[in-house]
A and B are shown apart, each in its own frame.
Chain A
């Protein structure tokens, strides 16, 4: 699986992890990872530590996730992007829109 998601034991955090390439081919899988989750005040963590490459449609997919998170008053954090991915996030200035750690 290239997109995996799990809810933490205490039910307060949803971690979505992407392996390898994050691009348009993951569109449906990525949406499925969060679209049915309607818990309020949930922390969403997008784990990009294993993502080697990301294209601009992936940035668009992250924006859709952000819309979803805001709809349910949650928090979105992008976690541990690799240098290549961090560069792409920086060019798009996503640190101005969400937390990147």
Chain B
């Protein structure tokens, strides 16, 4: 708070001088306090915190230079009580020495009262400016702190399974331009995002809230990682000015598929480590950061990898590899990798990388936000799988009878028939789930239905329409070959644009309410050649026993979730029914 009357401290061993200056200062409305040597001047400064100091140079006990040095040390940075040397030493050296000691100005005797008052006014003006800047700084800091609190409330606090994911987040300023998000998909997969807005501070964070909202909402509705990336890109393109963009790494980790889908747009390589800390794979950036182009590039694709339960996915922002030590060297990739590997062996990647980074930088000022996520490839919430439907209390024979009666009619049904190129462009599952939510309301039991629909649709598309052989996925090389071939065949489908395509997948739902729940009958028909369903199930039961096989898990999982599951018409039509109880 500004004081009503400003205080001026006069430090001079001449009583005469003190009196003279006092009169002039009082005319300018200052309250005046006086010290007759440097040492008591410092003492008075501490006691009264004056707004202005007038300092003689030659004084007993402590001279003006020393007193000034002490006072300036006490007043610290950011506060300015202007200090003017008053002297009759009209030499260049006196001028230089007084500035070196910390004096803000010098006034050489003799001077007229008018010149003295003008000088004081000028100094006061500068000190008012400093106060103003200080006030603004404080205001900005308060705003940033408030915004930061709000952001971490909105963003970090609502991330999924925070306890399982290791994170580093060190902002260069209060406000980080880096963002870390995790969210749970309806089928139990997990979505992870590590992103870096251009620059740092408040300016870099304007996109954080829309990114968070879109990422969470779309994940919850069952959209794939690539759908989400495309939407975020469109959103950032409209939202961000030309020189701001959003570099980000995305992952979808599917525990039951034992695979991960990765998309890196503009961040340093992401890593897949095994339990010994060996780098199994690196994920290079394959796309410009989001928000630069109005649409994703036509060849934008997720990378699919096989993962083992003990593998870890690690994403970093450039702040880590570009951190510098006092000599100006970069921390760089090899130091990061060494620290990460040692960290995995010691089962604490985050702290190992952090301490290695701290040792390297030796308290050098941090130039950019530093961010890392360390995500395990298993241990997520398991989707509830039971082999048989349990009949809860209050569930009567009548319910059962009603559900299974031949003449019972569904209260509603829903059909979706996708052909040709639409099969590449449209992900029908969120559309279907939206319909269900709109008609029957949201509910936990839809999670299993989501999984059933996804698995059956993917099977119809991959093995039916695209004619891919799932045995390809048995080896690690085949696994990536499978996804390459899949993308290739989807492109061929998409190019069928102009003619009416014979390729299709049809999805039909019928909903039957029960007294204490409901039943959904799902039909999925595809245009493919069909397959021998018995072989697949036989294969699967062997595979489940040796635990090694990668393909066909989908059908097994669906079989466990469904009440009934039947393949007909040589495997081109599948009928599943799913019953749940309130």
Contact = CB atoms under 8 A, between A and B. Distances in A.
Same assembly: yes
A61 B266 CA distance: 16
Contact of A96 (B243, B244, B268, B288): B288
A91 interface: yes
B285 A91 contact: yes
A57 B198 contact: yes
B394 interface: no
B207 to A, nearest CB: 13
Interface residues of B, number: 25
Interface in B230-245: 242-245
Contact of A92 (B199, B288, B367, B368): B288
A60 B288 contact: no
Interface string A48-65: 000000011101110110
The bracket for how many chain A residues form the interface is 10 to 19
A91 B199 contact: no
A92 B196 CA distance: 12
A97 interface: yes
Given A56-B196, A56-B198, A97-B292, A63 B266 contact: no
| Residue from A55, A56, A60 with most neighbouring chain B CB atoms (10 Å) | A56
Contact of B243 (A60, A88, A90, A92): A60
Contacts of B245: 59-60, 63
A67 interface: yes
B242 A91 contact: no
Contacts of B265: 93
B266 A60 contact: no
Contact of B199 (A56, A88, A93, A97): A56
B302 to A, nearest CB: 15
Report whether over half of chain B's contact residues are helix, strand or loop; otherwise say mixed: loop
A8 to B, nearest CB: 27
A57 B266 contact: no
Nearest to A56: B198
A91 B285 CA distance: 5
Contact of A94 (B244, B286, B288): B288
Interface in B276-290: 284-289
B253 interface: no
Contacts of A34: none
Contacts of B442: none
Contacts of B196: 56
B297 interface: yes
Nearest to B243: A60
A27 B487 CA distance: 42
Contacts of A91: 247, 266-268, 284-285, 318
B451 to A, nearest CB: 34
A59 B322 CA distance: 15
Contact of A57 (B242, B243, B247, B286): B243
A64 to B, nearest CB: 5
B288 A93 contact: yes
B268 A63 contact: no
Interface string B283-316: 0111111001100010000000000000000000
A57 B199 contact: yes
Nearest to B286: A93
Contacts of A90: 285
Contacts of A67: 242
Interface in A63-83: 63-64, 67
Contacts of B266: 91-93
A55 B284 CA distance: 19
Contacts of A93: 265-266, 285-289
A67 to B, nearest CB: 5
Nearest to A66: B242
B292 A24 contact: no
A64 B242 contact: yes
A59 B245 CA distance: 9
| Residue from A57, A88, A90 with most neighbouring chain B CB atoms (10 Å) | A57
A91 B196 CA distance: 13
Contacts of B243: 57, 60-61, 63-64
B375 to A, nearest CB: 21
Nearest to A67: B242
A60 B297 CA distance: 19
B242 A63 contact: yes
B562 to A, nearest CB: 43
A72 B267 CA distance: 31
A24 to B, nearest CB: 7
A94 B375 CA distance: 29
Contacts of A55: 322, 367-368
Interface in B215-253: 242-245, 247
B194 to A, nearest CB: 14
Nearest to A84: B330
A55 B322 CA distance: 9
B450 to A, nearest CB: 33
Contacts of B285: 90-93
Contacts of B292: 63, 97
Contacts of B367: 55
B198 A59 contact: yes
Closest 4 CB pairs of A and B: A60-B243, A93-B288, A92-B266, A56-B198
Interface of A: 24, 55-57, 59-61, 63-64, 67, 88, 90-94, 96-97
18 contacts: A56-B247, A56-B368, A60-B199, A60-B242, A60-B243, A60-B245, A61-B243, A64-B242, A67-B242, A90-B285, A91-B266, A91-B268, A92-B247, A92-B285, A92-B289, A96-B297, A97-B288, A97-B293
Given A56-B199, A57-B243, A64-B242, 13 more contacts: A55-B367, A56-B318, A59-B198, A59-B245, A60-B199, A60-B243, A61-B243, A88-B318, A91-B267, A92-B247, A93-B288, A94-B288, A97-B288
